[in-house]
Structure 1
């Protein structure tokens, strides 16, 4: 089904949001849209929304399972606007998820347990949101892959990740409880090309809708508990979004493209496209889910 605008979708078919978990895939361009959709369909999302340009072409099987919304996802601020409108329209407690094209969700044991099992357990732990780390993927050879995207030979940084206390401006900049700002990957290694307010790699990508909830431009929410990495009494699950987005942007942006000849460094390793590698590298937390 195709809708000419987000308004049209919310007017005609917002009842689809009741079939959660709902994945919102924002296509900023035409790169790896199909692989992104297939990955999240296999993950177990019941409803898949694709918000992006009219030029996206999908094979027939994906057309049948995807609700396409013509939307200017490439414009700054439009993702936040759309997510907040969908939060408002969705039934309370519906699990929602968002990502861009060229991004792939992984969670602990994702090869044998789907996202519905993940969120059922997380709900039982009285958690309404899940922290995800956006971990950069990149092609090893930029001469052969000028857009930095290569699924078969994708590379990942095995080290170089760190966290800093998140200051609370409302409390004399004392650290916020159970909140950290996470850094690493290409945003850290090529920080001279990344604005300071876009260097974090943490994102609350999985969350439950509720009245009054708003996502902010920095990928956090107006409910501080949604922004925490764990509950007060033990560690909780976290997940990873493996993403070509930063590598692609660094090569598309004229200000950085000609300065970067390779993303490889001594901590580059092949990405194995499985959750065990991400857990072994300490990039996501299984919590109490064994």
Structure 2
């Protein structure tokens, strides 16, 4: 289905927004659109909703319903606008969001479907799953000037750290952390401070009154936690070329950086097990 606006999508919620899990993809440019959509279609989402400009071309015959919404997404305010509108229209459903050139991996995702993990999360009385963004990049920026090369993708195998999240008074928030590392840490002088974090609550269950703020955090503090109070919970990873693309697109950083590759670079195998082995996500009590 093709919807001319976000309100048009919401008005047709009975057809366009079935019971989840639903995948929302914000498409900023034409890079890796086909592979992004097909990757998520294979994970078991009930439907994929693509938000993009009219000139963007989408793939066909992906195996699951694909709905197109004419909605600009390059404004930072676009994300909470879309999330809050869809969330309010799908109370009780699990939602996931990402951008083009980003790929979700969760524990055992080669053998299990996303609904299986979310069912386990629900059994644990969890309404969200923390995801960590892993910056991918091409090794050769001469042959791949946009830094996107799925056939030879690399990421930082170490160099990540977490800081306890604090509220406005300086008090430490329970089970909430800010994660840093990857390209956003190594090239932080080119990254705005509010874009340097790698933690993202990209998997969550829509609830009445739930709102995402401009900082991409949710109004219910429990949604922003990485685990339940009694033990570790499953987490997931979003392997993303987005930071590399931005650093190559910006004239200042483009001329200052001739390679993203360094001694701690690790070739990405496109396997969830690699991320589990490196501690970049964990199964919690789900086996």
Q: TM-score, normalised by structure 2?
A: 0.97
Q: Does 1:252 align with 2:241?
A: no
Structure 1 unaligned spans of 5+: none
Tell me which residue corresponds to 1:50: 50
- Asked if 1:89 corresponds to 2:86, the answer is no
- Asked whether the 8 Å contact 2:41–2:63 carries over to 1, the reply is no
Aligned residues: 287
CA distance in 2: counterparts of 1:5 and 1:14, whole angstroms: 16
Q: 1:218 aligns with which of 210, 215, 220?
A: 215
Residue 182 of structure 2 is aligned to residue 185 of structure 1: yes
CA deviation profile, 1:102-129 (whole Å, cap 9, x unmatched): 0000000000011010101111111000
- Secondary structure in 2 matching 1:272: coil
- SS of 1:192's partner is helix
Question: Who is 1:107 aligned against?
Answer: 106
Deviations 1:55-84 (A, max 9, x none): 222343149731000110112211111111
Cα offset for 1:14? 4.6
Q: CA RMSD in A?
A: 1.2
- Rounded to whole Å, the distance in 2 between the matches of 1:283 and 1:62 is 29
| Aligned position for 2:160 | 161
What are the residue-to-residue correspondences of 1:1-12 with 2, within 5 Å? 1-12=1-12
Alpha-carbon spacing, 1:3–1:63, altered in 2? closer, same or farther (3 Å)? farther
**For the structure 1 residues 64 and 221, does the alpha-carbon distance in structure 2 shift closer, same or farther, using more than 3 Å as the test?**
closer
Distance in 2 separating the partners of 1:255 and 1:18: 44
* Aligned match of 1:207: 204
Checking the alignment, whether the CA contact within 8 Å between 2:16 and 2:67 is kept in structure 1 is: no
How far did residue 161 of structure 1 move? 0.4
Q: How does 1:265-280 map to 2 (within 5 A)?
A: 265-280=262-277
Partner of 2:38: 38
**Distance in 2 between the 1:65 and 1:94 partners?**
16
How far does residue 254 in structure 1 lie from its aligned partner after superposition?
1.2
Matched residue, 1:138 = 137
8 Å contact from structure 2 (residues 4, 69) kept in 1: yes
Give the drift of 1:54. Answer: 1.3
- Which ranges in structure 2 are unaligned for 5 or more consecutive residues? none
| 8 Å Cα contact 1:147/1:251 also seen in 2 | yes
1: CA distance, partners of 2:59 / 2:282 = 35
Cα separation, partners in 2 of 1:63 and 1:51, compared to 1, 3 Å: farther
How far did residue 31 of structure 1 move? Answer: 0.6
Residue 285 of structure 1 and its aligned partner are, at CA, apart by 1.1
CA distance in 2, matches of 1:57, 1:179: 38
